[in-house]
Amino acid sequence: MPINDSKYWDEHLECMPREELEANQLKDLKEIVQFAYDNSPYYKRSFDEAGVKPSDIKTLKDIEKFPFINKKTQRDTQGVGSFLGELCAVDEKDVVFISTSSGSTGVPTISPFTQKDFDEFQDTEARWFWQVGMRPTDRYVHALNFSLYVGGPDVIGAQRTGALCIWGGTLPSERLLWVLKTYQPSVIWTSPSYAWQLGEKALKSGIDPKKDLNIKTIIVAGELGGSISATRNAIEELWGAQVFDFYGLSDIFGACAAMCEYKDGLHIAENHILVETVDPATGKVLPPGSKGEFVFTTLRKHARPLIRFRTGDIGWIDTSKCKCGRTHGRIHVLGRKDDMFIVSAVNVFPSDVEAGIRSISGITGEYLIRIFEKDFTCKYSVEVEKKFDNLDSDENVADLVSKSLKARIGVKPYSVVVHKDGDLNTRSEHKSKRIIDERTSKPE
């Protein structure tokens, strides 16, 4: 734990010059590529087939010579040869923890950790908690699913800050509100959707989140809402609290990146992850600052190293020094490659639609996107809810939504359906499903 309540969890690590940070990355990269080649059946075969070897790594840029892997690689190698599979580079006796992915894009994949992997994972979580202001005087509710979810154990990182931690898990809303009112915690972590819905439920049950509760900091993850200013501002206004976005991958560990007080992107743990951005279609490496698909290489995780893992997430990285003093790059995530759709030659991410809808008064902020084909072209429609006290007609609300999305995105929805407050079945205590793709022929 930092001494004298420092702003930083590890000031030297977080603020070291880029030259030193990249030198450390290169040292770790050489070691992990060699370790993967020597101990993982998949990487030995893959590198040999590609005609590359660990000694080819002379600079960070040399990682571009090595082949990509992705979720399909994980699924295809899982359970092959051993329980842990061909990607793994340690014996099962050295693994102390596994989590699994949600399986939302296919068969759930496991993520194994050695004791060292797990300890460094939790130290990184402590660093993020400290970064958003958690201190020993705080009470923290960890309102995340513990069942096989990689974010569940992150509460151990919170405990390392000295905060009083309440392992809430996925409590029913009524029970969680009782915890918030009775124990008066100051920090909570959940999804953006649920943070909004919980605030709404509090108001409907006679609890004013601003006056009756003590939440000062809300950490959100699992969806893009925390990085969408309109959504973040709406949650902050509802709760009277600061909202900070975290980003994680079950493939690596809980939160790999987190906002600082300036909320200009999310600092990524570059001591653990080498970040590349590539063209989603061609795989060509793009310069820093370009929008593309994130490719991550783990630098210190030994149970299952990930060498050039295509995440499927679209965004860009800013490696300039942040106003907070930290030098680790900040990623800006736009959305999932699989969720993007093209309407009239415009690339549309659900986050674009959410930003537009959350900024419109008179509607609840709940929405559903339907993507479909008409006249051999891609179209989209949206469904929203009109607030119970909005006396405007449904037609006027639909027109306002249509014009607002046209102005923000560049293409208006084919139609806007307006529901009564509470009638749109998108509310969830975990991740909300907000996209229905009805196209019969989807792009590759």
**pLDDT value of residue 104:** 53
Q: What is the pLDDT of residue 127?
A: 98
DSSP helix/strand/coil, 436: strand
Domain 340-437 class?
alpha beta
Q: Which of 146, 140, 232, 249 is nearest to 192 (CA)?
A: 232
| CA-based nearest residue to 142, from 129, 131, 130, 132 | 129
CA angle 247, 224, 271 (to 5 degrees): 20
* CATH of 1-334 given 3.30.499.10, 2.60.40.10, 1.20.1050.10, 3.40.50.12780: 3.40.50.12780
Q: What is the pLDDT of residue 101?
A: 78
Q: Cα–Cα distance between 386 and 398 in angstroms, integer?
A: 9
Least-confidence region, from 165-174, 205-214, 338-347: 338-347
Q: What is the pLDDT of residues 96-123, one digit of tens each?
A: 999 987 655 557 889 999 999 999 999 9
- The CA distance from 218 to 241, in Å, is 7
Show Cβ contacts of residue 208 under 8 Å, excluding neighbours closer than 6 positions: 202
pLDDT given for residue 410 in this prediction: 85
CB 275 within 8 A of CB 26: no
What pLDDT score was predicted for residue 179? 97
Residues in CB range of 161: below 8 A, 6 or more apart? 1, 126, 129, 130, 134, 135, 136, 138
- Residue 384 exposed, middle or buried by CB count within 10 Å (0-12, 13-18, 19+): buried
- Distance (Å, rounded) from C-alpha 156 to C-alpha 152? 9
Render pLDDT for 121-168 as a digit per residue (tens, 0 to 9).
999 999 999 999 999 999 999 998 888 888 899 999 999 999 999 999
Residues of the chain with CATH 3.30.300.30: 340-437
Exposed (0-12), middle (13-18) or buried (19+): which is 284, by Cβ within 10 Å?
A: exposed
- Model pTM score: 0.84
Report the distance separating Cα 247 and Cα 113, nearest Å: 19
* pLDDT given at position 344: 78
pLDDT of 338 over the 90 cut? no
Of 160, 114, 156, the closest CA to residue 136 belongs to 160
Q: Is the pLDDT of residue 303 over 60?
A: yes
Residue 260 has pLDDT above 80, yes or no: yes
pLDDT of residue 444: 44
Query: What confidence tens digit (pLDDT) does each residue in 372-412 have?
Result: 988 767 889 999 999 988 989 999 999 999 999 998 888 88
Nearest to 174 by CA among 152, 194, 198, 191: 198
Q: Determine how many CB atoms are found less than 10 A away from the CB of residue 40.
A: 23
Query: Tokens 């990085």 sit at which residue?
Result: 227
Query: What does the chain come to in residues?
Result: 444
Find the range with the poorest average confidence among 282-286, 307-311, 427-431: 427-431
Q: Per-residue pLDDT tens for 233-256?
A: 989 999 999 999 999 998 998 899
Confidence bin at 431 (pLDDT 50/70/90):
low
Residues of the chain above pLDDT 70, percent = 96
- Nearest C-alpha neighbor of 165 from the set 205, 204, 199, 136: 136
Q: Alpha carbon of 409 to those of 237, 351, 355: distances in Å?
A: 25, 10, 10
**Structure confidence at residue 102 (pLDDT):** 66
Asked if 268 and 250 count as a contact pair (C-beta separation under 8 A), the reply is no
Cα 217–Cα 220–Cα 222 angle in degrees, nearest 5: 170
**SS3 sequence, 323-379?**
CCCCCCCEEEEEEEHHHCEEECCEEECHHHHHHHHHCCCCEEEEEEEEEEEECCEEE
* Mean pLDDT, rounded, for 434-442: 78
Give me the chain's average pLDDT, please: 92
